[in-house]
Structure 1
Amino acid sequence: MKIVNKFYPHALVVLGFILVSLIYFYPVLQGKQIFQSDIAQYTGMAKEQNDFRAAENAEPYWTNSAFGGMPTYQLGANYPNDYVGKLDDALRFLPRPADYLFLYFLGFYGLLLVLKTDPLKAFIGAIAFGFSTYLIIILGVGHNAKAHAIAYMPLVIAGFILVFQKKYIWGGLLTMFAVALEVNANHFQMTYYLLIFLLILSGYFAFNFIKEKEYKQLLTAVGVLAVAGIFAIGANAGNLLATSEYAKYSIRDKSELTFNPDGSKNLTTAAMTTDYITEYSYGIAESLNLIAPRIFGGSSHENVGTDSRMYAFMLEQGVPSEQAQDFVSGMPTYWGDQPIVSAPAYIGVVVFFLGVLALFIDDRKIKYVFLAGALFTLMLSWGKNFSLLTDFFIEYVPMYDKFRAVSSIQVILELCFPVLAVMGLQSFFKAKDEPKLQQKALIQTGVFGLGVLLILVFAKGMFHFTGMSDKYYLESYGPAFVDALKEDRMTLYSADLLRSGFFIVVTFGILWLFIKNKFSQNTTLIIVGILMIFDLFFVDKKYVSAKDFVSPVQIAAPFQETPTDSQILKDTSTYRVFDPQGQLQGRSSYFHKTIGGYSAVRPRRMQQLYDYQIAKNNIEVLNMLNVKYVIQTDKEGKEIPTVNPDANGNAWFVQSVRSVNKPDDVMKALDNIDTKKVAVFNVNEYQGKFKSAGLNKQWDTTGTIKVVQYKPNYIKYKSESKNDGLAVFSEMYYKNGWNAYVDGKLTDHFPVDYVLRAMEVPAGKHTIEFKFEPQVIKTGGMITLASSIGMFLLLIGGIYFQKFYRKDAQRIDGDTQK
């Protein structure tokens, strides 16, 4: 009965989380699914992989439908022995995206329990965290992996805290499983940002241990965390090893070229330039939209409604009311420093108010850890707007330069402030016997909160309310249009300051009435909780709502086949398609094998080939990539498929090899070369026998090679030639997995023409096979299995120790004292 009473409140809380998740995303109960733009792009990119999986019940680990060919390691590939993934599937039992919202709630609830919060307050705090506007909007656009990783952050933090509180077994087990789930979520940028906060947290506890001269306890905690981390990472070895191996060849690693596409000297070989990394930098003043959602315009497609100045302007211009109403439903009112924003990063002004209250009334030092985490990551989110700090991190902090969109580190702030808010609320009620302390803290918080808003009210005239795209609108629509747009921005600014002021005053009033014994604690808690949730709920609904849900059929097939697609698909041979208008989109990959696609980790060399050659209309490069169709548009904007009669085909024999010494020379050689006759070979990139034997040889080109079987991870050719030949294949060279076989015998192949494969083919008739057989998958699978078994054994051992060994030890100790 004690066990039932102990877990009964938590069971009710979990049930509440399920209900709230399903109510907020209620269309999932009608069988609908949310349309997420990024997931639609992913569906295009992953279609060949998913089709293969459905047909073969296996993973290809390679696709030829995007960027000429690339590993699928970051395209939702399934890895062997992924038992952590199965645990995650069990936790995400609700329909998407309610499953991620449920995880937000559950993880944060766990953290608050570790911080000694009672279930009701923890429930309210968890809902407030999950409804942070940024966390909701990423579900709307389809940043599922990001949401997934954020959801497990609180549990990782909770595990660390338990370990540092000397609860080594439960803390170690929680850390191990939470980190395993965090890494399995597969958004390394979010995990990296979590690590930054964990360093702050660990520094705080390490300082306390050293201060108290508890060196043994510190070393024990570090040891426990190290073991937990090793097993957690090991349980994800398949994904981690494969991704690490491929990352060297993606745009996330350093460039090999020392010159830019325009011929100028490349002054940096960094994977990404500082400008690219900091393109999405949070504005310093824009940070205030954390507490007043639309003071910087809200989003880049804001619905300003029929009461707006823009709507009136449209009517004045003779636009029909229905058309005007549709037009103002997506206005570019955002005028901050980022190129495009889907919603403000609003944490809730009530959450902010209670978080500040914690600073005045909570006596726990750990509050400064969460405050430091919030402020430090806020400064990092400013990016180029705080270049002193950002440039230091890019230059000196390992791996910081691997991630772009630095504004997204604000997720740590969005985690820290709800923690502070619950601490503030808890400490306020705890001080019920000290009304003077309550009054002082509440007044200080109210003065601070309202003071910030009043400053913003009087500072309105200092802002220009000019957006980054206003120059375009001025040229396209004229000054009256831009003036109407600015007027609406100013209206949003004032309205949301008033809105935030209202919530602060009401929250202040409710807590003041509690001090005066007008409300009971539970009544006050419920009212403040409702205020906190409603504050966020109605902002969230502006950006993600029932209208974003569609039928499952549309999700399964997000792209409709056009007449151009149909015409191209009549050709059943193996070839590539180039769509200049959709080069960085997943649509073409849904229907064709393309040289474009949608990926943040696209192959570096293919991207460079586009920048240095294809963008300059080098048709010969398209030929060697076997681009048979180019999708173009006519004067009316209609798509038409243009046939490229000079495409080299799937494979061909060349006459000679042009040897060079570095990647620069290969790229420059492609400026003016007949790829059907000559292959460009970097002698320092390959160490096999061809290097010495084939450079000065004239090869026979009269032979033929034809594709007779194709799968994404397997291509079979038939060759016939009178003499030995040097064959070039219009497939991407990737040494870590692709193996070549001639008549079943493993045969060397090597890179040519910057991205392609080549090999020597003996005279006569032969069968040539390329098989994608990545050893990293096998190695990772074995490590994953061993680590998963280790985690299970540690779990059983930990439970046994806690439940039996410690009880026995206590009993023996008691008997000894008798």
Structure 2
Amino acid sequence: MKQNWLKAVLPHLAAIGIFLLLAMAYCAPALEGKVVNQADMKNVEGMAKEAKDYYEATGDRPLWTNSMFSGMPSYVIYTGPGTNKMGYMNWIITLKTPFPINMLFLAMLSMYLLLCVLDLKYWIRVMGAIAFAFCSYNVIIIDVGHITKMFDIALMPAVLAGIILTYRGRLLTGAALTALATGMLIYNNHLQIIYYTLIMVACLAVGAFVHAFKTQQLPQFFKASGLLAIAGALAILTSMDSLMILREYTDYTMRGSKSELTLDKDDAAQKKSTGLDIDYAYDWSYGKAETGTFLIPGYVGNSSAQKLSPSSHFGEQMVSLGVPAAQVDQFLSQQKLPMYYGAQSKGTSGPVYVGAIICFLFVLSLLLVDSWHKWWLIAVTAIGFILAWGKNLAFINDFLFYHLPLYNKFRAPAQALVLPSLTFVVLGCWGLQEVAAGKYTKTVLLQKLKQALLITGGFLLGFVLITNFFTGFSSASDASMLQYFAQMMGGEENGKLLIRALEKDRSSLLLQDTLRSAIFILIAAAAIWAYLKDKMTWKVSAIVITAAVTIDLLQVDKNYLNSDSFVDDLSFMQALQPSPADQQIKQDPDPYYRVFNVTTAPFDDASPSYFHKNIGGYSPAKLWLYQDLITHQIAKNNMHVMNMLNTKYFIVPDQKTGQPIAQRNPDAYGNAWFVKDIIWAPDANTEMKTLDYLNTRDSAVIDKRFQAQVGNFKPGADSSAAIKLTKYGPNQLEYTSHNSQEGFGVFSEIYYPAGWEASIDGKPVDIIRTNYALRGFKIPAGDHKIEMKFAPKTFFTGLKIAGTTSTLLLLLVVLIFGWEFYQQMKRETVPAPEKKK
């Protein structure tokens, strides 16, 4: 018996080896145990510290944390090990390689799989896989720490591969691959990327329907669609441990836009959106012209903070103004300058660059490809650009924001460029496939090659002319930089000279990168021309183009993720070392109080949460009621509100040294207290306004909707009345109360009705929203034991569903893939010819 299956498998193993070696070479420091020095991951460490410590100490799941925003669910931070078995697939498929090697490897593997399903030639698959993984956007988000986002981007091609395979007639295998890839996509849980993937899948399904209708294959289409629906449902069920509880949680967060206040907003506008505020959501809208970064990496100046060399126009201008060369060298080695002059008002860490050659091949594909796949890929491309432009194409995007289901839950529209980043690669590879497939004559191909070269060259020239003659090189940051330079150089005129020098550097970067892109395009075009003229074999031509694509992208990527981006564990944790102020506060034996650190950006920095139960923190999904409290009270330094939040310490800068110092607040109320009066507010606006002047130690303000639960009574409190915390845990709090009168207790705990329950002496009581954001309830006269527990039923139901369905799905996938492999071996195994007797 002669077996051919090994011969078929070896090229795929070789491709996997190439991907693994490339990812390891690019991220070599990771093999030495170093980690990427990511700002967002430091925030994650701060967010999760209390929850992780609690789990390690008790083995119980931490469902609530008091380390951020005075208390919030820890569902989006850390809850201990999940029951979803898809978690194992992340490290199985990535061969347990270290971060970030694993993500780049997964992205290459996933795109390679899609291109295999599309039946493209071997070296085209390899080229496409490398191009997709090393798109500059991917390495930039790795550098800043968007881990879940990168995992989900990496999995997008695999989801498409499964769906296309199913529509092609490989029903069980395609459905199994779809379920597995989609299950992993949802497990990694970047909801915005999942949403974009759904948009892409919808376009593919529409394209498949149109194709089936034209070819009279609708029964096959509906059969495949039914299986895909089942696969998708199974994939969703595997992540019910996160999806169910996140759906519940969203209704109480900024993402759900459930704030009842209309103090600073037009009522009609408030009712119009059930998601984020549109101005907040439109932060990081890509400029329409800025889309030229797909072709020219430095088109709008790369990043908002970039180092320049002493030989730059800026460096030479500093020298001409009398600054010694040595000082210029030192300044430019330490100071990053704003080279970016694009449309994103919040700045950017770098451009979305898919590669000059990929753009050229994309144009070529539009001239050559006639498959039905071309049209849905073009539709996805257009949708991606439109969504990414956000407020810069408001007449379309405003409508989508208010009417497209769930779209208003997301922000940073530029993220939508993950869609054309994928489709450019697929169509670019397909265009190259048409060159080698023999479908067109070489004369036709040479003509199309020339047209694609002229069109792409026209775009290069056009982008340069638009910037030089219309948009210019000035940046929104130049006004603030002018003040800085004027102060530094002793006058506004000198500051203006430095701004003009900076603009010249931006112009030089554009010309340099335009020339660079032109050179890479000419290399690829020359390789194709040489093949068509029989001066080079197809294999050599494909390898040349693959190498050029790799060099092009890696050169750009090294500006953002390089050996300097990696540090050892000790250096990474250095930013999370306690200051003397932190150490001083930690000496307090009290198990539960809060700290407000104003030496950082308190509501955009979770590092203080690493040490303390924090008034501030960082989360894109804060509770709406707490955001309201920040906006209307905490930001105004209302001490009655700070005291009711039990802010026992403030960390402030020392007036002489600027270093953080701790200041104790003797007026903090503690964990709970009795009030002597209740003010009933007719609505949320009045409730919030009452906090402007209310002495929250003696009185409480409550929305009148809760009046029936509290009843008409006058709260009392004798001179010895007190509520004392006796046991602290993130999920459970215990108190004792003493009061000779029937009273109303206010607890310095954030109100969250989806899971918190209270009892007095074992008997349940209703928790009332008090002072807009806290908990409170009526407490009978006498001595009592009070308990509050957080055990949301939704979470535990989701755990059971996820554990069962993920196990079932993986078993089905193994069985189907095993059967497919067995059948393939049978097909590849042919009997040897019998010997003649």
TM-score normalised over the length of structure 2: 0.92
Partner of 2:557: 540
Q: CA deviation at 1:803?
A: 7.4
In the alignment, structure 1 residue 64 sits paired with structure 2 residue 80: no
Q: CA deviation at 1:608?
A: 0.7
In the alignment, structure 1 residue 229 sits paired with structure 2 residue 232: yes
Give the counterpart of 1:736 among 754, 763, 776: 754
Task: Map 1:58-207; keep pairs closer than 5 Å.
Answer: 58-78=60-80, 80-92=82-94, 93-207=96-210
Give the counterpart of 2:796 among 771, 778, 789: 778
Task: Map 1:590-601; keep pairs closer than 5 Å.
Answer: 590-601=610-621
Partner of 2:674: 653
Task: Map 1:44-59; keep pairs closer than 5 Å.
Answer: 44-59=46-61
Give the counterpart of 2:302 among 278, 281, 298: 298
Distance 1:520 1:374, change over 3 A: same
Distance 1:804 1:311, change over 3 A: closer
Q: CA deviation at 1:347?
A: 0.5
Q: CA deviation at 1:717?
A: 1.9
State the SS of the aligned residue for 2:270.
coil
Q: Deviations over 1:433-457 (max 9, x none)?
A: 7211220111111111112112334
State the SS of the aligned residue for 1:542.
coil
In the alignment, structure 1 residue 769 sits paired with structure 2 residue 787: yes
Partner of 1:335: 341
Structure 1 letter corresponding to 2:416: I
In the alignment, structure 1 residue 401 sits paired with structure 2 residue 404: no
How many angstroms apart in 2 are the aligned matches of 1:248 and 1:323?
Answer: 55
How many angstroms apart in 1 are the aligned matches of 2:819 and 2:484?
Answer: 72
Distance 1:479 1:804, change over 3 A: closer
> Which stretch has the larger CA shift, 782-791 or 101-110?
782-791
How many angstroms apart in 1 are the aligned matches of 2:341 and 2:783?
Answer: 66
Q: Deviations over 1:78-117 (max 9, x none)?
A: 4542111122232341111111111111111111111112
Partner of 2:373: 366
Give the counterpart of 1:242 among 221, 240, 245: 245
Q: Deviations over 1:375-430 (max 9, x none)?
A: 22112211111112111111110111111100110011111111112111221112
- Unpaired runs of 5+ residues, structure 1, are 809-818
Give the counterpart of 2:482 among 467, 471, 474: 474
How many angstroms apart in 2 are the aligned matches of 1:211 and 1:700?
Answer: 83
In the alignment, structure 1 residue 527 sits paired with structure 2 residue 533: no
How many angstroms apart in 1 are the aligned matches of 2:683 and 2:141?
Answer: 42
State the SS of the aligned residue for 2:799.
helix
Q: Deviations over 1:3-23 (max 9, x none)?
A: 322222212211221111111
> Which stretch has the larger CA shift, 735-744 or 416-425?
735-744
Distance 1:74 1:320, change over 3 A: farther
Distance 1:695 1:223, change over 3 A: farther
Q: Deviations over 1:481-506 (max 9, x none)?
A: 21111111111111111111111122
Q: CA deviation at 1:746?
A: 3.6
State the SS of the aligned residue for 1:250.
coil
Q: Deviations over 1:759-816 (max 9, x none)?
A: 23333333322222121121101211232243145335645775789999xxxxxxxx
Task: Map 1:333-482; keep pairs closer than 5 Å.
Answer: 333-338=339-344, 339-431=346-438, 434-459=441-466, 460-477=468-485, 478-482=495-499
Q: CA deviation at 1:218?
A: 2.6
Partner of 1:611: 631
Q: Deviations over 1:330-388 (max 9, x none)?
A: 22010001121111111100111112111222332312222221122112211111112
Q: CA deviation at 1:714?
A: 2.0
How many angstroms apart in 1 are the aligned matches of 2:719 and 2:795?
Answer: 38
In the alignment, structure 1 residue 664 sits paired with structure 2 residue 671: no
> Which stretch has the larger CA shift, 653-662 or 670-679?
653-662
Distance 1:661 1:79, change over 3 A: farther
How many angstroms apart in 2 are the aligned matches of 1:78 and 1:225?
Answer: 32
Distance 1:131 1:793, change over 3 A: closer
Distance 1:249 1:322, change over 3 A: farther
1:68, 1:594 within 8 Å by CA — same for their partners in 2? yes
Structure 1 letter corresponding to 2:387: L
Partner of 1:815: none
Partner of 1:316: 320
1:721, 1:763 within 8 Å by CA — same for their partners in 2? yes
State the SS of the aligned residue for 1:543.
coil
2:259, 2:625 within 8 Å by CA — same for their partners in 1? no
How many angstroms apart in 2 are the aligned matches of 1:126 and 1:425?
Answer: 14
How many angstroms apart in 2 are the aligned matches of 1:128 and 1:700?
Answer: 73
2:717, 2:739 within 8 Å by CA — same for their partners in 1? no
1:79, 1:781 within 8 Å by CA — same for their partners in 2? no
2:241, 2:795 within 8 Å by CA — same for their partners in 1? yes
Structure 2 letter corresponding to 1:152: L
How many angstroms apart in 2 are the aligned matches of 1:288 and 1:766?
Answer: 68
How many angstroms apart in 1 are the aligned matches of 2:46 and 2:769?
Answer: 28
1:108, 1:155 within 8 Å by CA — same for their partners in 2? yes
How many angstroms apart in 2 are the aligned matches of 1:186 and 1:621?
Answer: 35
Structure 1 letter corresponding to 2:306: E
Give the counterpart of 1:749 among 761, 767, 787: 767
> Which stretch has the larger CA shift, 624-633 or 799-808?
799-808
How many angstroms apart in 2 are the aligned matches of 1:268 and 1:453?
Answer: 44
State the SS of the aligned residue for 1:95.
coil
Partner of 1:814: none
Give the counterpart of 1:562 among 579, 583, 591: 579
1:79, 1:238 within 8 Å by CA — same for their partners in 2? no
1:100, 1:147 within 8 Å by CA — same for their partners in 2? yes
In the alignment, structure 1 residue 602 sits paired with structure 2 residue 622: yes
Distance 1:562 1:799, change over 3 A: closer
Partner of 1:307: 311
State the SS of the aligned residue for 2:219.
helix
1:357, 1:441 within 8 Å by CA — same for their partners in 2? yes
Structure 2 letter corresponding to 1:380: L
Taking only aligned residues, the RMSD between alpha carbons, in angstroms, comes to 2.2
How many angstroms apart in 2 are the aligned matches of 1:763 and 1:249?
Answer: 34
Q: Deviations over 1:744-771 (max 9, x none)?
A: 4443322211111112333333332222
Structure 1 letter corresponding to 2:687: V
How many angstroms apart in 2 are the aligned matches of 1:233 and 1:10?
Answer: 30
How many angstroms apart in 2 are the aligned matches of 1:491 and 1:691?
Answer: 70
Q: CA deviation at 1:168?
A: 1.4
2:715, 2:743 within 8 Å by CA — same for their partners in 1? no
Give the counterpart of 1:578 among 592, 596, 600: 596
> Which stretch has the larger CA shift, 266-275 or 48-57?
266-275
> Which stretch has the larger CA shift, 558-567 or 179-188?
558-567
State the SS of the aligned residue for 1:741.
strand
2:5, 2:825 within 8 Å by CA — same for their partners in 1? no
> Which stretch has the larger CA shift, 471-480 or 24-33?
471-480
TM-score normalised over the length of structure 1: 0.94
State the SS of the aligned residue for 1:582.
coil
Structure 2 letter corresponding to 1:333: M
State the SS of the aligned residue for 2:311.
coil
> Which stretch has the larger CA shift, 116-125 or 156-165?
116-125
In the alignment, structure 1 residue 721 sits paired with structure 2 residue 724: no
Structure 1 letter corresponding to 2:690: A
1:258, 1:267 within 8 Å by CA — same for their partners in 2? no
